[in-house]
C-alpha cells in the first residue's frame, strides 16, 4: 500500500467517524431530513465529493445497491444505522444518487 493510499484511509476514517458522531445534528430538529440532496450534502459529500471516497454521482447506481452499501458499509466506508439516516431518508438519498449527474457535469 502506498503512503498516499494509507493517508486517504486515515483521513477517510477520521472524517467518517466525526461525521457519524455528528450526523444526527444535521437533520432537522424533529430528526427528519429535507430530501436526498440534504443527506448527501451533509454526510456523503464529505468523502465522495472530495476524492477520499469514490465519486458516486453520475454512475446511475441502483437505489437498492446504494441502500445496501449505506447500511452495511464497504471497505473504508462505515455502515450508517437507521438512527443516523432513517429508512425514508435513505430511500430519498439512494434515488438522489441514482439520478444525479456526475460532479462537474453540465446540466
Q: Can you read off the three cell numbers belonging to residue 18?
A: 466525526
* pLDDT tens-place string over residues 41-88: 999 999 999 999 999 999 999 999 999 999 999 999 999 999 999 999
User: Is the separation of the CB atoms in 70 and 90 below 8 Å?
Assistant: yes
77 forms bridges with which residues in the sheet?
Answer: 74
Give the start-to-end residue ranges of the domains of the chain. 3-99
CATH number for domain 3-99, candidates 1.10.760.10, 2.170.130.30, 1.20.1070.10, 2.60.40.420: 1.10.760.10
pTM for this prediction: 0.73
Rounded Cα distance between 66 and 79, Å, is 11
Rounded CA separation 19/81 (Å): 13
> What tens digit of pLDDT does each residue of 5-50 get?
656 665 555 555 544 444 454 777 777 899 999 999 999 999 999 9
Amino acid at each position: 500500500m502506498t503512503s498516499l493510499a494509507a493517508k486517504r484511509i486515515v483521513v477517510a476514517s477520521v472524517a467518517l467517524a466525526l461525521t457519524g458522531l455528528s450526523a444526527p445534528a444535521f437533520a432537522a430538529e424533529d430528526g427528519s431530513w429535507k430530501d436526498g440532496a440534504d443527506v448527501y450534502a451533509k454526510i456523503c459529500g464529505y468523502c465522495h465529493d472530495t476524492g477520499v471516497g469514490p465519486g458516486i454521482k453520475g454512475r446511475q447506481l441502483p437505489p437498492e445497491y446504494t441502500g445496501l452499501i449505506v447500511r452495511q458499509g464497504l471497505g473504508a466506508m462505515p455502515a450508517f444505522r437507521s438512527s443516523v439516516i432513517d429508512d425514508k431518508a435513505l430511500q430519498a438519498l439512494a434515488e438522489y444518487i441514482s439520478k444525479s449527474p456526475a460532479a462537474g457535469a453540465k446540466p
